[in-house]
Structure 1
Amino acid sequence: MPTPQTTLDKAYFDRVYQANNDPWSFATSDYERQKYEATIAALPNPQYEYAFEIGCSIGVLTQMLAERCGRLLAVDASELPLRTARERLAMYPNVTIRQMKIPDEFPDTSFDLILLSEVGYYLSMPDLTRARQLLIDHLRPNGHLLLVHWTPFVHDYPLTGDQVHDFFLESAQPNGPLMHLTNQRESTYRLDLFQKVEKP
């Protein structure tokens, strides 16, 4: 089956979650738990004023992230996993959960932390290009952008995790809008942390 050239749509994720309410075992997998712990450990600041998590699914990582954020907006393309996420985060008044399809929809505010975890490879390159610009535009000066993605090839996905991260690295060249702070590569995922350059 050829690799799709278009962004995976909401219907794709609805079908996945209709078949299984935790299709990637976010709540039970030791692999996911260790990756989430590495994700949280990579955050340089002890607290963030306003964070944006793209692709929150059922909210397992969201719950860990909520402890580090004054406010947290967590979104997913499908409404189905958000029902579970809302139950999980019901005791966190600082968390807002919303159905949103990036890059066609984007919040009209700015953040000091944006997390793009296991989402970028669902986008076509034109949509990832749009998303990258939106993320940069809505990141506050000196704010952090954290990317975490599975790296093995998946035939369903338009891009690989490496393609996503390498594309963002292009914005961290000299005089670019981002500065690359951290790279961490494990056997099946990679993590890259960026900071938005404050213009003089």
Structure 2
Amino acid sequence: MNPNQPNTLPPAYFDDVYRANADPWQFETSPYEREKYATTLAALPRPHYERAFEIGCSLGVLTEQLAPRCGHLLAIDVADAPLERARQRCAQLPQVELRLMRIPEEFPQGHFDLILVSEVGYYWSPEDLARATNLLLEALPSGGQLLLVHWTPPVHDYPLTGDEVHEFFLQKAEATGPLRHVHGQRQETYRLDLLEKR
């Protein structure tokens, strides 16, 4: 690994963030987040996904909204504190499974017809982003969809920007790549891209 490359943010970073503030990014209260969640769900072209995988579910606010469109939704996070809140929020949703898991060191078995990478890719180092991408591609069957949603302004703590994450995945959607770019949109401070496995 190139010593000049930034490292993936460790679980302890997120433990500290949630220790200082139970909802550090105002997922539960922010009008910005509410609008972004609505845009995220509206970007999904199918009414139902049999097996979905959400990486970085945090407090489970989006998980709860996505669940009615899923036969089974595996939602993971690297920190215990937000997962506890997510378990409470999704307690009445039997199709939701919540797990403590760190990608790319760990990865669930099986295939998913929807994988959501929302506000998490910029926490990975370039090397881990590449490793995670390979695992995600293996987990998507032909026709499976990958939805990316990320904040675009740079954050000094984060190894990557949202744009760098999206551009990395979009390289896989060039003519001979394993993905097809279905659609994308850019808002003032975030972007969204939907890709599909060829």
TM range, smaller chain: over 0.9
Superposed CA offset, 1:83-129 (max 9, x none):
00000000000000000001101001110000000000000000000
Paired-residue identity, %: 62
**Misfit runs of 4+, over 3 Å:** none
| Aligned match of 1:56 | 57
Aligned CA-pair RMSD: 1.0
Deviation (angstroms), 1:149: 0.1
Matched letter for residue 71 of structure 1: H
Q: TM-score, length-normalised on structure 2?
A: 0.97
Q: Is the 8 A contact 1:4 1:156 kept in 2?
A: no
Residue 105 of structure 1 corresponds to 106
State the secondary structure of the residue aligned to 2:17: helix
SS at match of 2:170: helix
- The 3-state SS of whatever aligns with 1:115 is strand
Q: Out of 3-12 and 178-187, give the one that drifted further.
A: 3-12
Aligned to 1:143: 144
- The answer as to whether partners of 1:4 and 1:157 remain within 8 angstroms in 2 is no
Q: Aligned residue for 2:115?
A: 114
Does structure 1 residue 177 correspond to structure 2 residue 178? yes
CA distance in 1, matches of 2:95, 2:182: 28
* Amino acid of the structure 2 residue aligned with 1:163: E
1:83-94 aligned at under 5 Å gives the runs 83-94=84-95
Q: How many residue pairs end up in the alignment?
A: 195
Q: Is the 8 A contact 2:54 2:63 kept in 1?
A: yes
Q: State the 1:155 CA deviation.
A: 0.2
